[in-house]
Amino acid sequence: MIKPVAKQANKNANLRQTGIDAATKVVANFSIRSVQYLDENANIVHDLPMFAEDSAELLKLFRTMLLLHHFDRKVLMLHRTGKIGTYPGTLGQEAVGVGMASALTDDDILVPYYRSVTDLYVRGVRLHEVLAFWIGDERGLDFKDPRARNDLPLPICISSQIPHAAGVANAIRIRGQKNRAVLTAIGDGGTSEGDFYEGLNCAGTWKLPLVIVINNNRWALTEPNKCQTACQTLAQKAIAGGFEGIQVDGNDVIAVRATVDEALQKARAGGGPTLIEALTYRLCAHTTIDNLERYVDKEEYDQAWQKEPLIRLRKLLQVREVLDEASETRMLNEIKEEIEHEVELALSLPLQPPEAIFDYLYAELPERQQAQRAEVSARWRKN
Amino acid sequence: MIKPVAKQANKNANLRQTGIDAATKVVANFSIRSVQYLDENANIVHDLPMFAEDSAELLKLFRTMLLLHHFDRKVLMLHRTGKIGTYPGTLGQEAVGVGMASALTDDDILVPYYRSVTDLYVRGVRLHEVLAFWIGDERGLDFKDPRARNDLPLPICISSQIPHAAGVANAIRIRGQKNRAVLTAIGDGGTSEGDFYEGLNCAGTWKLPLVIVINNNRWALTEPNKCQTACQTLAQKAIAGGFEGIQVDGNDVIAVRATVDEALQKARAGGGPTLIEALTYRLCAHTTIDNLERYVDKEEYDQAWQKEPLIRLRKLLQVREVLDEASETRMLNEIKEEIEHEVELALSLPLQPPEAIFDYLYAELPERQQAQRAEVSARWRKN
Amino acid sequence: MAAITLLEGVNMAIDHEMARDINVVALGQDVGKSGGVFRATDGLYKKYGENRVLDTPLAESLIVGLSVGMASQQMRPIAEIQFMGFIFPSFNQIATAAARMRNRTRGRITLPMVIRMPYGGGIHAPEHHSESTEALLAHLPGIKVVVPSTPERAYGLLLAAIRDPDPVIFLEPKRIYRAVKQEVEDNGEAYPLESCFIDREGTDITLVSWGAMMQETLKAADLMEKEGVSCEVIDLVTLNPIDIPTIVESVEKTGRCIIIHEATRAGGLGSEIAAELSEKALLSLYAPIGRVTGYDTIVPYPKSEHYFMPDKDRIVDEIRKAMEYH
Amino acid sequence: MAAITLLEGVNMAIDHEMARDINVVALGQDVGKSGGVFRATDGLYKKYGENRVLDTPLAESLIVGLSVGMASQQMRPIAEIQFMGFIFPSFNQIATAAARMRNRTRGRITLPMVIRMPYGGGIHAPEHHSESTEALLAHLPGIKVVVPSTPERAYGLLLAAIRDPDPVIFLEPKRIYRAVKQEVEDNGEAYPLESCFIDREGTDITLVSWGAMMQETLKAADLMEKEGVSCEVIDLVTLNPIDIPTIVESVEKTGRCIIIHEATRAGGLGSEIAAELSEKALLSLYAPIGRVTGYDTIVPYPKSEHYFMPDKDRIVDEIRKAMEYH
Ligand SMILES: Cc1ncc(C[n+]2csc(CCOP(=O)(O)OP(=O)(O)O)c2C)c(N)n1
Ligand SMILES: Cc1ncc(C[n+]2csc(CCOP(=O)(O)OP(=O)(O)O)c2C)c(N)n1
Ligand SMILES: [Mg+2]
Ligand SMILES: [Mg+2]
């Protein structure tokens, strides 16, 4: 019997010199592009998209970003005074959520990720709702704004939202709705989970009306990008799904909005999905209970502050003379009022009744749980 | 309060004409190459690698492929006569497993997939072992050949082997062993599972000594490639892992062997992982209990037979005058003898004792199961 | 009205609901063009088209995750997991998304979805194709778990599952997919998803089982009848919620109880039923509660599967033990 | 010898084994440079380097799958899942690979690996950070499941888990990570993985619990002592295998038993213990076996968590009920 060959040391050595290179032909080419309009010094590096000609529009975006910026700081204070526990901030990343969500129409659907306060806010979800969720009250996910009623709640399980977003998009596709698309988000760390790829792969296969934005804030908890991937861009993950991936300066709200807008239009028109990597930086700790000084390089961190998204937009608006110190101060005062109000609402929310732990389990509560519900009721009502 | 903007219908329409294109720059380029030496008519399209100059070597590969080809047919007969149940054939795909496994050294480790009979055979695993596994006997995975002792068993859970292979490769990396690499395989359908990507991503991140071969036989059970992916190549999935993917003519055993060989050398030398997509065709049904006529296009199927891997290698060997009809007939007789012997061994394997259902659960059987074991023993010994 | 198999009952229910409600869609690996590995969705692709019967990529987490997304928009997906042994990749989507959406949004988003799958052993299938891990699912609040044991129940329960406003896991005992035929009318009548069936009344001992094990249980009851032991046989049908009151009532009458299931014993659903009885019917018990189950080992490969599987003989032995106990 | 916390006991055991055996490596999300979200691997990265303390990508299935691959080559990986609520993505790797490798290769390949994770509620953590789904793991043959309740047991049991030739799931009750301090000698002495501890002897009733609930159980026992009820308190410690003989012996003595756990009641491990008792100690029971558990609902968010969690008051009520039963 002729035995199969196991060792070929010498021959391999020869082969190595020649190699397979000569026997290859290129069968596919891909490239990843990157979008930027406004660089960190507020230089306009490309002709602005139409919407950005409208200074009032940009001012709205600025105001929203400023509000979320200050909300973050407020929450951190609340944490320090023991009023709230875990909260994942969006400091430095305001342009990603605000830019992407401002490209949505009311008919579109948003599938947020756990750090999605900025996009949710644009969508009409109130800050006290998001805060209530993080304080530990399920009612925070019962979004009240009509625009957000069909939006999915914040998921805590990293990446689990990507198949959901594909499912929502699939419902739109099946129903032949041409005016709708789905927008979802994920972190850089989230791109390591299987669910991310499964959703991507399906979105490509079924040409789903789906836009996925990666908030690449360079950190997944304490792990920097290099712990998650060998990829030079996360946008290139789209190539594995067979559709376009594109990078965008995530600190340039104009670029984020324009890129997401175009991708949503493509999706609504049946052109299929797009993956957008927004490059930004997490200027806050992972959450309020984390301490970034333990693992973040000080110099890198300080540099990141220089590229922070409010700076360049402020400069542009100042050049356009629609914003100055005085008007920004007025704006800030208004903002702070809204924040105080929202915080007050969240902190003063009365507890849910004890029975509520059963009341949303099923449409109809089974007998077994009815008995338990009665037990809980008796126990906690008497005290 | 300035409300966030939800609708921008008119402006969007304008934007669309200009678009973001003008604001982009290319930040990364990728290409996928494809390898072929011997085309379907046995034309040598590129200078052969060294090992292929050795006709005796090619004759060995041919013999192994021929053997597995006939083994498949034998198993189908056994199924028709009710002697065995489910068995996943490798008809048409012999060059993939034989080519890849023949590039392994004894120090390397093979992490097979469920349809991996061909590579396992090259590795020294006997056909009766694989058959025993499929007939329903765990002993089939207790590979006896020393070369295969550390190889992982066939996994039934699609794609679950990829993280295992990464783990084995990681052990090699941690131990600093420079003479070893890991070779694993997966089907085209398997590339839809999250585990595939998680393994890929980790292999890239940690630069693991790992070579992953996709047996793209165009079918995942009854689903053709287009149900699984929008990708033009499966090799491009590697781009999401941040390392090289390459396509190879999976019916050209010389190309498979050369490509895997080079990738293994790269891996051993610390150059990191490679993903290799071997394009072939499943000429058998999914398994013996499946009927491919229900879903496979007859014409496509007949055409695939023209490209089957034995034809071209036979022609080459005939041209080189190391094979003719008479010698192939002799070879076939030997082969059939081996097959008969292996089948005989598998079918005559006495049952495991009843107690064996407990005997490999833990190093030491807990009390609870000891009692159950005694019960089983009493019940089945008395009958 | 033709006699149909359990498998055909499944098909008939899906067909019925797809015809009735445009929001009902079927999805899974190979469920479309080829009608599924067991043909549970046979003919539906042709009838309803590729937009309502979807061949998904080979990815279980995706299949359940897609269903969550679709259901969140008021569609009614019926997802197939090819075999119960392959449910694990989707476990996260079931446990953390499907089971919780209503609760975590305080009822804002609900998920009318079904995840159906063949389960259980006895057909000499390869590794992982014979699993019976229903206890893992029944431990998760927020979903329902249902198992039919006859063609007619398959039809009526699956209708109910599809119409249910919450996620339902529908386990199909593949060993009896084609074992029995029954005349079933396609009348659209659904069963409740919280009641067991008393299949045979008896006075001496209560036997509780579900799925394919019902066959062995009924055989054992027949055999014991000849020895003068009158067995009450309960088909549990719903594993979450379990119809404990009916079982308690039966055991209060008979004083003895044996639970029969294929799954591994430790932490199997037999434990849950026994625990409930030991709490609610302790004083009625003349004998310890018996459990006839798969052993606490991994489901063996086909050649040794019979050593593992409960059968009528083991049930009979356990009944005798209970009857002789004092 | 310093007094240490349970968390430090975990760290000390890992450190001890890493120093002793070059094949022992720790891996998981954030376990390396930053020492883990709870600091369980604090200092180890610095001491043993990036090749032995690995920050993995954010992918649980990968983490367990990697460990399977490494263990198959005679390494001894200690994988961390960041919170038990995130174990589900890795469930397939646990159930179909880790638990079965020895069995499916007839002992050719074995997997000396540990999967450790903080579990349980009571620290006001966000959704999914308070899960207690040990019953799902304990139902899987082929793995062991262990829970310490004191610093000293954390150390001794984790040593045993790391040295065990088979996969061990090691659940760490994070609520008491820093709650109690104990003097623990770093002497390398491991506990067996099949025995429970009788923490307090008593004659009237047996209380069985594990993890953080041991604290509440002991408090309840204290309170009842004042009422003249003598409680025997058992720390279960190993959830698979369960030391049933010791519990049976205790209940034969006391005649009453209550099982206390955080997890959801239906299909929780309390059922398994009650079922075993109802089989093996039926005639010794003076009262129904009680279970004080989380309710059959989804773990509520922090603001409502206290309604869900068993506490000493609920245990005391249940003890009184059992004592008054006749
Ligand atoms: C499945 C799962 N595993 C682990 C965690 C714990 N966890 C919460 S956030 C986080 C890091 C996420 O990083 P990234 O995806 O980059 O998002 P970012 O926090 O930077 O916005 C981890 C590991 C989780 N929530 N879900
Ligand atoms: C996790 C999992 N899901 C489903 C199956 C059932 N199944 C067995 S083979 C197969 C198709 C595999 O296709 P592919 O990966 O292309 O490999 P091939 O069979 O073509 O070699 C499926 C769906 C499985 N074994 N494992
Ligand atoms: Mg991040
Ligand atoms: Mg295939």
The pLDDT value given to residue B19: 87
The reply to whether C189 falls in a domain is no
- CB atoms D66 and B167 under 8 Å: yes
Cβ(C56) to ligand 2 under 6 A? no
Q: Which residues of C touch B189 (CB under 8 A)?
A: 57-58
Q: Is the pLDDT of residue B338 over 50?
A: yes
Side chain identity at residue B52, one-letter code: A
Same domain, C127 and C98: yes
Instruction: List residues bridging with C234 in a β-sheet.
Output: C198, C208
- The rounded distance, in Å, linking the Cα atoms of A109 and A106 is 8
The total of structural domains in chain C comes to 2
- CB atoms A11 and B50 under 8 Å: yes
Determine the structural domain holding residue D27 and report its residue range. 2-184
Question: By CA distance, what is D135's nearest residue in C?
Answer: C267
Pairing of strands D76-80, D24-28: parallel
Q: Which 3 state secondary structure label does DSSP give D154?
A: helix
- CB atoms D275 and C291 under 8 Å: yes
- The rounded distance, in Å, linking the Cα atoms of C298 and B142 is 17
Q: Which residues contact B328 (CB under 8 A, 6 or more apart)?
A: B66, B314
- Determine which one of D124, D129, D139, D306 is catalytic: D129
Suggest the residue from D50, D60, D66, D242 to mutate for an interface test with chain B (most B CBs closer than 10 A). D66
- CB atoms B190 and C30 under 8 Å: no
CA of A305 to the centre of ligand 2 (A): 49
Q: What is the pLDDT of residues B203-234, one digit of tens each?
A: 999 999 999 999 999 999 999 999 999 999 99
pLDDT, mean of residues B93-120:
98
CB C145 within 8 A of CB C6: no
Q: Which 3 state secondary structure label does DSSP give C292?
A: strand
Q: How many residues does chain B have?
A: 383
- The rounded distance, in Å, linking the Cα atoms of D38 and D40 is 6
Helices (runs of H) and strands (runs of E) counted in chain C: 12, 14
Which CATH number is D118's domain given?
A: 3.40.50.970
Q: Is the pLDDT of residue A4 over 60?
A: no
The pLDDT value given to residue C90: 98
Q: Which residues contact C226 (CB under 8 A, 6 or more apart)?
A: none
Ligand 1 atom with minimal separation from the A157 CA: 26
Give partners of D (≥3 CB pairs < 8 A). Answer: A, B, C
Is residue D129 flagged as an active site residue? yes
Buried b (16+ CB within 10 A) or exposed e, A88-120: bbbbbbbbbbbbbbbbbbeebbbbbbbbbbbbb
Q: At residue C195, what are phi and psi to the nearest 5 degrees?
A: -125, 135
The reply to whether C23 falls in a domain is yes
Question: How many Cα atoms are found within 13 Å in the side-chain-facing hemisphere of B284?
Answer: 25
> What is the band of A145 on the pLDDT scale with cuts at 50, 70, 90?
very high
Q: In what order do the strands lie in the sheet with C168-173?
A: C53-55, C24-28, C76-80, C114-119, C168-173, C144-146, C238-240
The pLDDT value given to residue D1: 77
Share of chain A above pLDDT 70, in %: 95
Q: Which residues of chain D have pLDDT under 70?
A: none
Q: Is the pLDDT of residue A3 over 80?
A: no
Pairing of strands A219-220, A223-224: antiparallel
Q: Is the pLDDT of residue A352 over 50?
A: yes
Same domain, C176 and C266: no
Question: By CA distance, what is B196's nearest residue in A?
Answer: A194
Q: Which position has the token pair 């996994």?
A: B155
Same domain, D51 and D175: yes
Q: Name the CATH architecture for the domain at B33-352.
A: 3-Layer(aba) Sandwich (3.40)
- Closest residue by Cα to atom 9, ligand 1, is A221
Same domain, C157 and C227: no
CB C260 within 8 A of CB C216: yes
CA of C62 to the centre of ligand 2 (A): 15
Q: Would you state the structure tokens that stand for residue D39, as one six-digit string? A: 């600091």
**Cα–Cα distances in Å, from C88 out to A340, B202, D7, D108?**
46, 21, 30, 25
- CB atoms C65 and A171 under 8 Å: no
**Cα–Cα distances in Å, from C255 out to A218, A244, C209?**
65, 68, 17
Same domain, D65 and D212: no
Question: How many Cα atoms are found within 13 Å in the side-chain-facing hemisphere of A304?
Answer: 19
- The rounded distance, in Å, linking the Cα atoms of B216 and B228 is 11
How far is CA C230 from its chain centroid? 26
Same domain, C225 and C173: no
> What is the band of A98 on the pLDDT scale with cuts at 50, 70, 90?
very high
What are the start and end residues of each CATH 3.40.50.970 domain in chain A? 33-352
Cβ(A245) to ligand 1 under 6 A? no
- The rounded distance, in Å, linking the Cα atoms of A351 and B370 is 52
CB neighbours (10 Å) of residue B42? 16
- The rounded distance, in Å, linking the Cα atoms of D93 and B164 is 9
The domain boundary residue, chosen from C184, C214, C240: C184
- The rounded distance, in Å, linking the Cα atoms of A175 and A195 is 24
Pairing of strands D238-240, B223-224: unpaired
Q: Which residues contact A126 (CB under 8 A, 6 or more apart)?
A: A144, A145, A342, A345
The reply to whether C190 falls in a domain is no
Mutation choice for ligand 2 from C29, C31, C58, C130, CB with most ligand atoms inside 8 A: C58
- CB atoms C278 and D278 under 8 Å: yes
Q: Which 3 state secondary structure label does DSSP give D221?
A: helix
Size of the B and D interface in Cβ pairs below 8 Å: 141
Give partners of B (≥3 CB pairs < 8 A). Answer: A, C, D
Suggest the residue from B33, B71, B197 to mutate for an interface test with chain A (most A CBs closer than 10 A). B197
Q: What is the pLDDT of residues A171-208, one digit of tens each?
A: 999 999 999 999 999 999 999 999 999 999 999 999 99
How far is CA D260 from its chain centroid? 13
Same domain, C130 and C279: no
CB A25 within 8 A of CB B33: yes
- DSSP character for A153? P
CB D120 within 8 A of CB D130: yes
CB A258 within 8 A of CB A34: no
Q: Which residues of chain C have pLDDT under 50?
A: none
Find the farthest-apart pair of alpha carbons in chain A and give their distance in angstroms, rounded. Answer: 91
- The rounded distance, in Å, linking the Cα atoms of D62 and D64 is 6
The reply to whether C192 falls in a domain is no
The pLDDT value given to residue B7: 38
Q: Is the pLDDT of residue A15 over 80?
A: no
The pLDDT value given to residue B383: 58
Which CATH number is D319's domain given?
A: 3.40.50.920
CB neighbours (10 Å) of residue C113? 30
> What is the band of A383 on the pLDDT scale with cuts at 50, 70, 90?
low
The reply to whether D248 falls in a domain is yes
The reply to whether C232 falls in a domain is yes
Question: By CA distance, what is A191's nearest residue in D?
Answer: D58
- CB atoms D289 and C275 under 8 Å: yes
Q: What is the pLDDT of residues B16-73, one digit of tens each?
A: 446 899 999 999 999 999 999 999 999 999 999 999 999 999 999 999 999 999 999 9
Same domain, D271 and D248: yes
Average pLDDT, chain A: 94
Helices (runs of H) and strands (runs of E) counted in chain A: 13, 8
The pLDDT value given to residue A18: 60
> What is the pTM (predicted TM-score) of this model?
0.97
Same domain, D145 and D91: yes
Same domain, C310 and C178: no
Q: Is the pLDDT of residue A132 over 80?
A: yes
CB B293 within 8 A of CB B300: no
Catalytic residues of C: 129
Question: By CA distance, what is B165's nearest residue in D?
Answer: D69
Same domain, C154 and C294: no
CA of B196 to the centre of ligand 1 (A): 20
pLDDT, mean of residues B121-132:
98
The pLDDT value given to residue C1: 77
Is D74 an 8 Å CB contact of chain C?
no
pLDDT, mean of residues A281-308:
96
Q: Is the pLDDT of residue A13 over 80?
A: no
Give the dihedral sign, CA C266/C267/C270/C275: positive
Cβ(C29) to ligand 2 under 6 A? yes
CB C256 within 8 A of CB C204: yes
Same domain, D240 and D145: no
Q: Would you state the structure tokens that stand for residue D237, as one six-digit string? A: 């410690």
Cα Rg, chain D, nearest whole Å: 19
- Window 141-180 of D: residues touching C by CB (8 A cutoff) are 141-142
Q: How far is B362 from chain A (nearest CA, A)?
A: 30
The reply to whether D191 falls in a domain is no
The reply to whether D254 falls in a domain is yes
The domain boundary residue, chosen from D130, D153, D184: D184
- Closest residue by Cα to atom 18, ligand 1, is A187
pLDDT, mean of residues B131-152:
97
- DSSP character for D94? I
